[in-house]
Structure 1
């Protein structure tokens, strides 16, 4: 009985302080519809973002559809993958890269100005010149994982930006 009371007390304290598991982002109720678009037609990042938004039950509207001025807009401006040399083999061939995936997008909530946001996701990638085909497939998988992580980060930034926007609206007279 004592253990049960201790467990209940701990769970009440943890939930009361606002703790939530990492990756468990709640979108505000005001973000029930999103207009998603990108500068590049059929963008892989746009597809990843749409897939990550499915569990949130958000109506996704194409950027090409006009109207809906009370909708939150996300416009993916660019996503680029750069490589930076980290190490070389004794033969002079590249042994390791740092992959840098940069995402730039514009976020605009209803009745507010657009915000230009940018972030980087970095990964170390070991290159093996003897397994070119396997490494190219591995690079595709790493890039796909980086896009998924970028989509999750965009969702998190939407949540944070909306929360910040609603708090600043409460403070200003």
Structure 2
């Protein structure tokens, strides 16, 4: 009898917490309310990795991607994404020991019959260089750039979810 009531209490606790979370507007990451964008055209440079990440995220959030421009649909234009690096420290022999990576993204959102709204942001990472392990460091830099693109796509998606 005690086991039955403990299980029942657990079920009630789970039900109560899920009701509280859903009533406060909580959403799981990646599950953004983009119902105000039923269809959208994404415009970017050819073979842009950030554009393909964004397209995938938009499709996951039930936004139909249009192949070409349509007046009745919003346009998300990825103007550019660049990676810049700044020297932070040097080895005693003068070689660079540490860089600061700066990933800069510029994009514009044009709503139907509206003016383009321009946005820009920067993401920062520190990167330690070792000339003795150039191949491993090149792979690490590639992975870090992939993470920065993921973060940039998440940030753009959050911005889109806030627009109405």
Partner of 2:144: 142
Question: Which of 34, 39, 43 is 1:33 aligned to?
Answer: 39
Q: Structure 1 unaligned runs (5+)? A: 163-173
Q: Which of residues 78, 81, 92 in structure 1 aligns to 2:80?
A: 78
Q: For residues 15 and 59 of structure 1, what CA distance do their matches in structure 2 show? A: 26
Distance 1:58 1:13 in 2: 28
Pick from 151, 154, 162: which aligns with 1:152?
Answer: 154
Distance in 2 between the 1:22 and 1:45 partners? 18
Deviations 1:94-147 (A, max 9, x none): 222111100001101223322101111111211111111221122122112211
CA–CA distance in 2 between the matches of 1:70 and 1:43?
25
Aligned to 1:168: none
For residues 147 and 105 of structure 1, the distance between their equivalents in structure 2, rounded to whole angstroms, comes to 14
The corresponding residue for 1:57 is 62
Distance 1:23 1:50, change over 3 A: closer
Paired with 2:32 and 2:88, the residues of 1 have a C-alpha distance of 34
Q: Structure 2: which 5+ residue stretches go unaligned?
A: 1-7
| Contact kept in structure 2, 1:52 and 1:148, CA below 8 Å | no
CA RMSD of the aligned region, Å?
1.9
Find the counterpart in structure 2 of residue 166 from structure 1.
none
Instruction: Name the CA shift for 1:159/1:44 in 2 (closer, same or farther; >3 Å).
Output: same
Aligned partner of residue 96 in structure 1, secondary structure: strand
Instruction: Decide whether aligned partners of structure 1 residues 24 and 98 sit closer, same or farther in structure 2, where only a CA change above 3 A counts.
Output: farther
Query: 2:87·2:100 contact (CA, 8 Å) conserved in 1?
Result: yes
Q: TM-score, normalised by structure 1?
A: 0.80
**What is the DSSP-based 3-state SS (H/G/I as helix, E as strand, rest coil) of the residue aligned with 1:99?**
strand
Contact 2:41–2:66 under 8 Å retained in 1: yes
Distance 1:3 1:96, change over 3 A: same
